[in-house]
A and B are shown apart, each in its own frame.
Chain A
Amino acid sequence: MFRYYLKLGWLSIRRNPLLSALMVAAIAVGIGASMTTITVNYTMSNNPIPHKSEQLFAVQLDNWDPNQDDPSSFEPPDQVTYTDAMALMRAKKAFRQVASNRSGLVLEPENPDERPFSVDTRNTWADFFPMFEAPFLYGSGWDEAADENMDQVVVLSQAINEQVFGGENSVGRSVRLNGMDFRVVGVLKEWLPMPKFYDVTNGPFDPTEEVFIPFTVAIEHELPRNGNTNCWKPTDGDGFEAFKASECVWIQFWAELRNEDEKREYMEFLNAYVEQQKELGRFPRPMNNRLDDVMEWMERQEVVEEDAQVMMGLSLLFLLVCLLNTIGLLLAKFMRKSGDISVRRALGARKSDLFRQHMIEAGLIGLGGGVLGVGLTLLGLKGIQSLFGDIVDNLVGMDWVMVLTAIGLAIVSALLAALYPTWQACRIMPASQLKTQ
């Protein structure tokens, strides 16, 4: 009977094309508006590394101002100091650990006719690449010895490799960054973790960096920093050495801990470390160290912005308004079919048969609304992109999951909207209609 009802639904839609088009349009507009905001929220709340997100932990140490805020509700800083980052790196207590920060360097092409250009850079450690599973097109990341020896090595993004070396395997070749020569050890494949979980403090939806160099090299040569830096008290003196010794936080620290035991042991290590630092006069606040896995970290950092959630709520309300319109239109459509309904009742249709028939018709209308709604969603996302520019480039893509979600939501919405009109249609008294036709 399902195919029969599909056929009847299609015939009914064709019988009242204008009314049907209005319903499809009402659903499509509601779906378009809501799916635009849902897509943005979905991308914002995406798990960027699902198979490993519960083993990667952002580290927070509370070295902050003792006079600020109630200690019980105070969130520790979301980055760590240079002193702590280096101490944790040297301790090597986690299976893998990475301290990194954002930077910007100037790349000077080999060809003197080409103009130098700036490249978004990440200063990091050898563990960064296996820990965050960065995929390589050529070569690999550097090893621990390179960190220790402050080797001037570099990993390039695919785009920069394309730009500088025409996409060839550039491993072993040299690039000049801020006047220093770096040897290429690896080229990444296209890699865009979204959100960029390993550095949400500097823009969770920013593109991946173009160049990766050893953190130790950046420190040794006092290369510039581009990321957020927060301090709660002035540095003791001037210059880079004073800054390194300060309580300013500017480094993101991650640890890979493969199970609960490793996590517990690492937290014990952090607590012991802070206790030790307290004895040296640091960490004046009560102990408040944190280890958050990727999704906990996203939530704590409020990667999904409140505005986006409000917009999603409003757009769902708009979908509700569209559905109320659809209810009215469906009611009008089904009441106009009272003659057919009565004939079918007289010929032996049960109320449940008519209910199924009309729900399937509504489902077809929902399907049409969903397909059109996907088109409107893509338009809406284009609109957001043109309004906000490059900063939302990575938020406005619609994958298959979202396409299917849009169509599914449209069908479910249409079915919900059809419940009352269908119920009314099933209650039509056939006797009164058959005589008057």
Chain B
Amino acid sequence: MLRFENISMVYRTDSVETHALREFSLDVEEGEFVAVTGPSGSGKTTFLNIAGLLERFTAGRYLLDGKDVSALSDAETSRVRNEKIGFIFQGFNLIPDLNIYDNVDVPLRYRGFNAAERKRRIESTLETVGLSSRMKHLPSQLSGGQQQRVAIARALAGNPRFLLADEPTGNLDTQMARNIMELIQSINMSGTTIIMVTHDDALAGMAKRNVHIRDGRVSDDGSSVQLANVATA
């Protein structure tokens, strides 16, 4: 479903070259729940940005559903993002002026759905995350956990092929984090592929597969149980 083939990403300034990813290769299959871990600066977020078509890479090839997406135009990239990818961010990234309903509506507007279809999807996804009674609330009127649920609803509303989550519980307390992770797990159970970047080993342990990145390369790739064994050995 998602294949990175020898992808390199170099950030250049006048005097410095920073290699964020070095010949990075990874396959993710349909329905997987992959946790990507690694120390700060290892390239986790760069990987996620490239996977989400938010950034272009320097070398290599990226296949999504078997199609090379390396050289798509802006309009094509936007369409792929809109139709196939859902994002969950650490800082929720809700639009503060819009109420919950309208926040979830944003990707559906760009998809071109009619009003009735948008309404059906918004109500359904807000029901899924347990916020159907808060549709008219502004983000500032919700707790952090609720805001993240709205962000998840927004990511799910377009029925994407996979979700990219960047430290989805980083701004939440333990209980809220657990609830969010349970929600993400249930989404995965229903068939949506999930790739989650985290530095929290406990959260990573809730995924089916762990990929560890170091210095821009995959250093370990296995089930969360295998990796736990590696860690204790």
> Interface residues of A: mostly helix, strand, loop or mixed?
helix
A233 beta carbon closer than 8 Å to chain B:
no
Interface contact tally, CB-CB below 8 A: 72
Q: Are A346 and B54 in contact (CB under 8 A)?
A: yes
Q: Are B107 and A431 in contact (CB under 8 A)?
A: no
User: Beta-carbon contacts of A333-362 to B below 8 Å, as 1s and 0s?
Assistant: 000000110111111111111000000000
Of B74, B81, B90, B98, which contacts A346 at CB under 8 A?
Answer: B81
B97 beta carbon closer than 8 Å to chain A:
yes
Add 13 more A-B contacts to A340-B95, A348-B158, A350-B78 (CB < 8 A).
Answer: A1-B109, A12-B97, A15-B96, A343-B93, A343-B106, A344-B106, A345-B81, A347-B81, A348-B107, A349-B78, A350-B79, A434-B91, A434-B166
Q: Are A435 and B45 in contact (CB under 8 A)?
A: yes
Q: Are A431 and B97 in contact (CB under 8 A)?
A: no
Q: Are A346 and B87 in contact (CB under 8 A)?
A: yes
B75 beta carbon closer than 8 Å to chain A:
yes
Q: Are B45 and A347 in contact (CB under 8 A)?
A: no
Give the complex CA separation of A4 and B108 in angstroms: 12
Give the complex CA separation of A429 and B74 in angstroms: 12
Query: A residues engaging B (CB < 8 A)?
Result: 1, 4, 11-12, 14-15, 339-340, 342-353, 429-431, 434-435, 437
- Which of B74, B89, B98, B106 has the largest count of A CB atoms less than 10 A from its CB? B106
User: Beta-carbon contacts of B177-212 to A below 8 Å, as 1s and 0s?
Assistant: 000000000000000000000000000000000000
Given known pairs A434-B54, A434-B89, the reply for A348 and B97 (CB within 8 Å) is no
Tell me how many residues of B have a C-beta within 8 Å of chain A.
30
Q: Are B55 and A347 in contact (CB under 8 A)?
A: no
Query: Which A residues are in CB contact (< 8 Å) with B154?
Result: 347
Q: Are A353 and B110 in contact (CB under 8 A)?
A: yes
Query: Which A residues are in CB contact (< 8 Å) with B95?
Result: 340, 343
Q: Are B87 and A347 in contact (CB under 8 A)?
A: yes
Of B83, B89, B98, B107, which contacts A437 at CB under 8 A?
Answer: B89
Of A342, A347, A352, which contacts B106 at CB under 8 A?
Answer: A347
Query: Which A residues are in CB contact (< 8 Å) with B93?
Result: 339, 342-343, 346, 434, 437
User: Beta-carbon contacts of B104-132 to A below 8 Å, as 1s and 0s?
Assistant: 00110111000000000000000000000
B82 beta carbon closer than 8 Å to chain A:
yes
Q: Are A348 and B82 in contact (CB under 8 A)?
A: yes
